[in-house]
Chains A and B, each alone.
Chain A
């Protein structure tokens, strides 16, 4: 007998509802949040922010969440959904390997990258706020930058001046500056806005440089996590050729290996100031140094990792 497949959006909504029913704060971010906020894209994957200390509850909720009749499982070499690694900035990956065209897939962030303000205070229904989603969009993927800009515009429409921090299109900045006032706080956080205000011909180059800087920063960050994950991933592939079907058993295997092979705080071990310096150096190659002075200070975007003791 064929079991009817639920709607994938409703399926993710049910997971959020179960978590909130157990007093676990959580928020959907990424592509699904973008769709909600007026930036359509085709995605079946759900990105979920959940405080690391609630990892155990989330694991139990995932175990109990079947898509049709299909149980949740870890993706191949995912780190464990455990407070220690989530707090260190790792993402845990899950999927429901159904035969149906829609295959749910869930990525869990405990310390969402680049998020500089408390995301819990700005949720919109089951979604992270636009500011959180837009900060997470400063990635090494080109398409994300237009989405960040669209979110920034939506924030300005909603009278949130932080929208200025997310507009990475010089043409739009030039038009906006003629119509809207720009606050000192936004200029302080994002020096490039000064160029828009003064109608500087450097604006286009400076915005591109900013994008390039964040892109390097994200690529270097991922490199740190990939390097720290290597031994663990290899060991996991060896022992898990026939992984247990039960999610909790899969979890136990991962925790045992992670305790031996997966550093808990790779970003702190590497050094956040060092990472930022390397991103600046990579951005500076072949560039007029005058442009570099308009790069933002980004240390606060690592606070949710740096604060781990």
Chain B
């Protein structure tokens, strides 16, 4: 049992290390959140991106 727990911990560390290297520190943190919190984070990012896009659209409209 202890061996199994140790193995899982090792695997967790290897996984975290890979996520940091592949996706960066912030996304690695997000990836290790529970699924519901991860979805919330992404929804916030999408909302922020949409807001930025609409601001840029307005600027385009004014400039045109």
Contact = CB atoms under 8 A, between A and B. Distances in A.
Interface of A: 7, 9, 35-36, 38-40, 42, 44, 101-102, 146, 149-150, 153-154, 156-157, 169, 171-172, 175-176, 179-180
A208 to B, nearest CB: 15
Given A39-B31, A179-B10, A169 B18 contact: yes
A180 B23 contact: no
Given A102-B50, A180-B7, A42 B45 contact: yes
The 7 closest A-B pairs by CB, nearest first: A101-B50, A146-B22, A153-B15, A179-B10, A40-B30, A38-B31, A172-B18
Contact of B53 (A39, A101, A150, A169): A101
A42 B46 contact: yes
A152 B12 CA distance: 13
B10 A40 contact: no
A7 B42 CA distance: 12
Contact of A179 (B11, B22, B42, B54): B11
B61 to A, nearest CB: 15
Contacts of B19: 150
Contacts of B49: 42, 101
B41 A40 contact: yes
Contacts of B23: 39-40, 146, 150
B7 A149 contact: no
27 contacts: A7-B43, A35-B38, A38-B31, A38-B35, A38-B38, A39-B23, A39-B31, A40-B27, A40-B30, A40-B42, A42-B49, A44-B46, A101-B47, A101-B49, A101-B51, A146-B22, A149-B18, A149-B22, A150-B18, A153-B15, A153-B18, A154-B15, A157-B15, A172-B14, A172-B18, A175-B14, A179-B10
Nearest to A34: B31
Contacts of B7: 179-180
Nearest to A172: B18
Interface string B1-18: 000000110111011011
Contacts of A7: 43
A36 to B, nearest CB: 6
Nearest to B41: A40
A157 B12 contact: yes
B56 interface: no
A156 B15 CA distance: 10
B30 A157 contact: no
Contact of B31 (A40, A101, A172): A40
Contact of A180 (B11, B35, B42): B11
B41 A101 contact: no
